[in-house]
Structure 1
Amino acid sequence: MKSSANKPTLELNNTSKETFSSAGFILSAIGSSVGLGNMWKFPYITGLYGGAAFFLLFTICLVVIGLPILLAELTIGRGSRGNASSAFTILSGHKYWSYFGGLGVLAAFVIMAFYTVVAGWTMHYAVQSFTGKLFSGGDFGAQFENFNATLQPVGWQIVVMIISVFVVAKGISGGIEKFNKVLIPGLIIILLVLMVRALSLPGAGAGVEFFLKPDFSKLTVESALVALGHAFFSLSLGMGTMLTYGAYVEKRQSLGTATLAVGFGDLLYALVAGLIIFPTSFAFGIPSSAGPGLVFVALPAAFDAMWMGEFFGGLFFILLAIAALTSAISILEVPVAFVMDKFRTTRAKAASSVGALCLVFGIPAALSLYGPLSGFLPGGKSIFDWMDFLGSYVLLPLGGLVVTLFTGYVWKHAGQEAGLTSGWYKLWMFLLRYIAPFLVIAVFIYSIYSNL
């Protein structure tokens, strides 16, 4: 390994000058993994594939595949103190590995460009709910379409980007860590309030039973691939976020403990999301198959019929906005760290330039759903859908595959950096070498097949 010769020079980059505190790192990593997917996608696929049986399958996939890859990303980040691209070259001594690592940087950039669109929706709906305007029209499907037919989504997208750039430009301890230390506890409080309210609704018991009663007859090869894919995506794997965060972790921090904490936080968030969505859905006769439209079309109807619906609807969308922002900030940090190292520029300049470039590519996505660019459908998909497909279903699995192969076969000191005992190290290597690559490839093939 040639890293000993390279490190003294490469560790003088901008990323190595900042570090998380132990608590700040855990909260920031959880904030990265707690995104929108567990709130609108997880309940839908859980209801579709067997309730608690699918939740159990998801838990197994998260533990067996998700956590080993998460630990690998954190280990690469801390071991190299580099960005998502340079980390692989620092540890291997071969420049060509930086191109493979660059897949994570590209994935983060693409996802940030369209993720800010959805994050903007949540902020708009939070304001509309608290003011009561959301419930004045009645037809929530038409409201969603009419909103996206205007330029308002672009305005909210810009607001999300400005907040993200501002936080990232402030640095690790003064920006990202401080932001997550405030928002994550707030997110937990709102989650608990909404869960209690949902469980107290008339008819909520049927929703809880539907969610927690296992139906093993619905478990198939397809459901296993869906559970594996969601475990992979919900932990923010494959786009360099955890690798980049790992570069800011102090040596005294236990990466194994951090990995378990993030995995538990992600799992708990998914569970509570189900205990919010299913009781509310059943209480107001909303089908669990509503899918992503559940959040912006079906659930507002439920809040409209609920006592103090404006308040609880506003809380719900603030919850989504917090989840979206904490994830967006971690995603933005990936290309920002890359630009800082590559061009030796300041954090503020890197954050501003990357944020502006993301907007250049993201605004067409915002206008492609019901807006001026909605008629532009190359291959039958909108610009938004193509960006989602490229980022989520192509680049993420490829980025995750690079991490597994690199840690399993190339970097010989991963176990030492991870701080694992001999037994745990052997199990970790077995999963990374012989199990994870094949399952990630299976998810990649299934995702391509099911989305084209």
Structure 2
Amino acid sequence: MALPSPEREQWSSRLGFVLAAAGSAIGLGNIWRFPFKAGDNGGGAFVLIYLACLVLLCVPYLFAELALGRNGKRNPVGAIRAIDARSPWPLVGGLCVVAGLAILSYYAVVAGWAVGYVLRDLVAAEAPDAVFARVIADPLWVVPLFGGFLFATAGVVAGGVRRGIERWAKILMPVLFVLLCLIIFRSVTLPGAGAGLDFYLTPDFSKVSGLVVVEALGQAFFSLSLGMGTMITYGSYLPDDENLIVSGGYVAAFDTLIALMAGLMIFPAVFAMGQNPAEGPSLVFVVLPDVFGAMPLGSFVGTLFFLLLAIAAFTSGISLLEVFVSYLVDETPWSRRAAAWGAGGLAFALGLPSALSQGAVPALSDLSWLVGDRFFGPSPGMLDVMDFLWGSVALVLSAALLSLFVGWVWGAEKALTELRSGTGHTVGRVAGPVWCAAIKYAFPITILAVLVIDLLYDVL
């Protein structure tokens, strides 16, 4: 049974919410995943399709999660239970809560790698790929970095909504933006950077295929932290008179701006140094150190870049932990401080196999004997398996189910009424019914189609 929470915290201002929610969305998905997805899928055309997916699908769906959270004033489980407590639907909220913690468990591993680049000169002496492979396989480096990241994350969340999450968002997000601007300036002023700008900003639709569209939609979807309960939880801390459409719009705009800036930071430097932009996931951790090592002031720029990556990972990690902590605070007798440290410890236990799966423990480094390589790629390790199960399948599935819940169980019209609350005016005679139809039909069909097409592509 849910426990009463009469003194539930709220954001102190719209700016606090926007920075915290944008910090949740701005993470490794923007600084690491977006550039390599754009590089793999033709550059400018991918970016244009990505922007279309954001506007037409992801931002409207974001409003649904925010409305559900503010209506229930609770975590994803409690928000659904407040509407329909006698059905299995609260299990969908439970999926969001578990997925957030599971994602954090291996997300913190990758975040620890970024911190390691700041603390250690990885671009000296050896080639970056050799150094990277050696460091991520060294438990004496990986485990302390991974654990330290989770310790810092739990410390912020234990401080509460205003004194912890909001305070640090107001500090870290401006720092992140300044670092981005500094690196972009250095990148675009390199000789030969124009080729990278052309690749990134000029659409070449000859490279567009159905799979590129699916990749762009998936990236747009995940870049806004949708389907993992974060926006439901953050929406639950909003006052009733807050304009959800304006606030959600600011979050989406800030997130999109940072993703686009990440491309401006990376592609001019990659082309100026004669590197291949279609290097996949290794673009940031292997190719870029090589690029930084070859450019003037490269060591300084490289340190700034991985500091930026660590900050982006930290703001997202905070939101991932907050979903689970909010559940414990709302639904159990646990205090926030106990919930934060307990959840952080659980994330460490869950993530330790992923941290040791990059060579430290051979049995965890290649699970093809257990799961095969059809979905996970050749020689999948524990981190690859966790990312596929929780970062792909679970998120897409929970988002589709949440869309069905909002559209059919709660009712799209009631969700629209919640959206209108605080706006001071109606959403619009045309926009309102279109949004209701989209949440009932277009969103769940499209989101499930992304999952099915991804799975079929991996099989075939």
Evaluate the alpha carbon distance shift between residue 47 and residue 134 of structure 1 in structure 2; reply closer, same or farther with a 3 A threshold.
Answer: closer
Instruction: Report if the CA contact (8 A) 1:16-1:247 is conserved.
Output: no
Which residue is equivalent to 1:5?
A: none
Q: Residue type matched to 1:410 in 2?
A: V
Structure 2 unaligned regions, length at least 5 = 373-379, 421-426
Contact 1:140–1:297, Cα closer than 8 Å, also in 2:
yes
Deviates more, 1:186-195 or 1:52-61: 52-61
Q: List per-residue Cα deviations over 1:285-331 (Å, max 9, x = no partner).
A: 11011111111111101111122212110100011001100000000
TM-score normalised by L of structure 1: 0.94
Q: 1:103 — aligned with what?
A: 95
Match of 2:302 in 1: 313
Identity across matched positions, percent: 40
Are residues 1:251 and 2:240 paired? yes
Q: Give runs of aligned pairs for residues 35-434 of structure 1, distance below 5 A.
A: 35-128=27-120, 133-151=121-139, 152-372=141-361, 373-377=364-368, 378-380=370-372, 381-412=380-411, 413-419=414-420, 420-434=427-441
1:106: Cα distance to partner? 1.4
Alpha-carbon distance in structure 2 between the residues aligned to 1:281 and 1:235: 26
Structure 1 residue 12 displacement after superposition: 2.9
Native 8 Å contact 2:393 2:451 kept in 1: yes
More displaced, 26-35 or 259-268? Answer: 259-268
Question: Closer, same or farther in 2 for the Cα pair 1:340/1:308, shift >3 Å?
Answer: same
Q: Deviations over 1:118-170 (max 9, x none)?
A: 01011110122xxxx32322311111111112111111011110110000000
CA distance in 1, matches of 2:211, 2:184: 30
In 1, are the aligned partners of 2:2 and 2:331 still within 8 Å (CA)? no
What is the Cα deviation at residue 39 of structure 1? Answer: 2.1
Name the CA distance, whole Å, in 1 between partners of 2:384 and 2:133: 16
Q: How big is the shift at 1:14?
A: 7.3
- Looking at structure 2, the residues matched to 148 and 134 of structure 1 have their Cα atoms a distance apart, in angstroms, of 12
* Pairwise CA distance, 1:86: 1.6
- Using the TM superposition, give the Cα deviation of residue 44 of structure 1 relative to its aligned residue in structure 2, in angstroms: 2.4
Q: Distance in 1 between matches of 2:296 and 2:272?
A: 13
Give the aligned residue type for 2:365.
S
Q: Which runs of 5 or more structure 1 residues have no equivalent in the other structure?
A: 1-8
Q: Secondary structure at the match of 2:59?
A: helix
Q: Which whole-Å CA distance do the structure 2 matches of 1:250 and 1:180 have between them?
A: 19
In the TM superposition, residue 252 of structure 1 has moved relative to its aligned partner by 2.1
TM-score by length of 2: 0.92
Report 1:2-13 matches (<5 A): 12-13=4-5
Partner secondary structure for residue 85 of structure 1: helix
SS of the residue corresponding to residue 190 of structure 2 reads coil
Residues in 1 aligned to 2:50 and 2:124: alpha-carbon distance in whole angstroms: 39
- Structure 1 stretch 101-110 or stretch 44-53: which is displaced more? 44-53
Shift of 1:343: 1.6
Deviations 1:308-357 (A, max 9, x none): 21211010001100110000000000111111222221000001111101
**Contact 1:64–1:431, Cα closer than 8 Å, also in 2:** no
RMSD after superposition? 1.6
**CA gap 1:14/1:135 in 2 versus in 1, 3 angstroms:** farther
Aligned-residue offset at 1:421: 3.6
Could you list the per-position Cα deviations for residues 32-80 of structure 1 after superposition, in whole angstroms to 9, with x for gaps in the alignment? 1111122222222223333222211111111111011111111100000
Give 1:275 deviation, angstroms. 0.7
**Partner of 1:3 in structure 2?**
none
Distance in 1, matches of 2:209 and 2:284, equals: 27
The alpha-carbon deviation at position 376 of structure 1 amounts to 4.5
- Contact 2:35/2:263 (<8 A) preserved: yes
Query: Residue by residue, what CA displacement relative to the aligned partner does 1:172-225 show, whole Å, maximum 9, x if unpaired?
Result: 000000000000000010111111110000100010011111111122211111
Give 1:251 deviation, angstroms. 1.6
Distance 1:450 1:332, change over 3 A: farther
Q: Deviations over 1:6-27 (max 9, x none)?
A: xxx9683278344342110000
Q: Is the 8 A contact 1:112 1:328 kept in 2?
A: yes
CA 421–11 in structure 1, closer or farther in 2 if over 3 Å, else same: farther
From 447, 450, 454, the equivalent of 1:440 is 447
Please identify, of 240-249 and 428-437, the stretch whose mean Cα deviation from structure 2 is larger.
Answer: 428-437
User: 1:93 offset after TM fit, Å?
Assistant: 4.1
State the 1:451 CA deviation: 4.6
Q: Structure 1: how far apart are the matches of 2:282 and 2:27?
A: 16
Q: 1:403 to 1:422 in 2, by over 3 A?
A: farther
How many residues align? The count is 440
Q: What amino acid maps onto 2:171 in structure 1?
A: V
